Amino acid sequence: EAVVELRGVTKTYPGDVHALRGVDLTVARGDLLAIVGPSGSGKSTMLHLIGTLDRPTTGTVLVTGHDVATLSDRQLSGLRSRTLGFVFQQFHLSPGVSALDNVADGLLYTGTGRRARRERAAEALERVGLGHRLGHRPSELSGGEQQRVAVARAVAGDPPLLLADEPTGNLDSHAGADVLAVLADLNESGTTVAVITHDAEIAGWCRRQVRLRDGLVVDGHEHDHLSPVE
């Protein structure tokens, strides 16, 4: 069953910029997928379409079976918050509050009470190996730890799909490997993960790769085994 399907998707920006020129992609439940390509190949555009942050020029985007073209902005934001967790290169944490509150505040949209939000946030921080850092503010955490807080916030509501856009871009290779290991752990426990990256080494670490070049998918292939970055 597909979490996301793109069918014949194009995206043209003003100025006749053809960012995507006819892309088909199925993200199946359980995938650990890399979308990889050089700068300007259309990765961010694809992320925005998969993430329902933007709509295609032509073609169809289905998210858990819902055609985004048929949904109002309000329905779309509801679908997005139920279905998708986002992690970006920048950690986007609130500097003034603890790791626990950063994650718990991400659950405000669910209407869950404060106590239950904090319990779920603590569980999510434990899943990313930060059970011992609940009270720390971002400034008291390393870059890798801050990104793991961002991952915890993205998965605290148990979204079926986690979208990570250059998640190791601001990290040294050791901290980057920790974050990738956390994403693989989450995938093992059932979360579908799509990583957007320009880095072939990071992509090689995902089970499945989709290569973009000049707005087209040029190659996708499967690996039998994970080969973590050392």
Residue ranges in contact with ligand ADP by CB under 6 A = 13, 15, 17, 19, 37, 39-45, 53, 86, 88-90, 92, 165-166
Minimum distance from CB of 225 to ligand ADP (Å)? 27
What minimum distance in Å lies between the beta carbon of 68 and ligand ADP? 15
* First-to-last C-alpha distance (Å) of the chain: 33
Q: Nearer Cβ to ligand ADP, position 5 or 165? A: 165
**Pick 40 or 59: Cβ nearer ligand ADP:** 40
| Beta-carbon count within 10 A of 206 CB | 25
Measure CA 11 to chain center. Answer: 20
- Print burial letters for 51-70: b (CB count within 10 Å at least 16), e (below 16): bbebebeebebbbbeeebee
The DSSP bridge partners found for residue 129 are: none
User: Which residues does residue 10 pair with via DSSP β-bridges, in sequence order?
Assistant: 21, 58
- When the beta carbons of 16 and 230 are compared against ligand ADP, the nearer one is 16
Min dist. Cβ of residue 218 to ligand ADP (A): 13
How many CB atoms are closer than 10 A to CB 114?
10
Question: 39 or 189: whose CB is closer to ligand ADP?
Answer: 39
> Residue 156 Cβ, how far from ligand ADP at the closest point, in Å?
14
Q: DSSP 3-state assignment of 104?
A: helix
Provide the token pair at 135.
């009270």
Q: Which is nearer to ligand ADP, 58 or 90 (CB)?
A: 90
- Closest contact distance (angstroms) between CB of 87 and ligand ADP is 9
SS3 assignment, position 78: helix
Whether the Cβ atoms of residue 155 and residue 85 lie closer than 8 Å to each other = yes
Q: How far is the CB of 215 from ligand ADP (least distance, A)?
A: 7
Please say which residue, 48 or 226, places its beta carbon nearer to ligand ADP.
Answer: 48
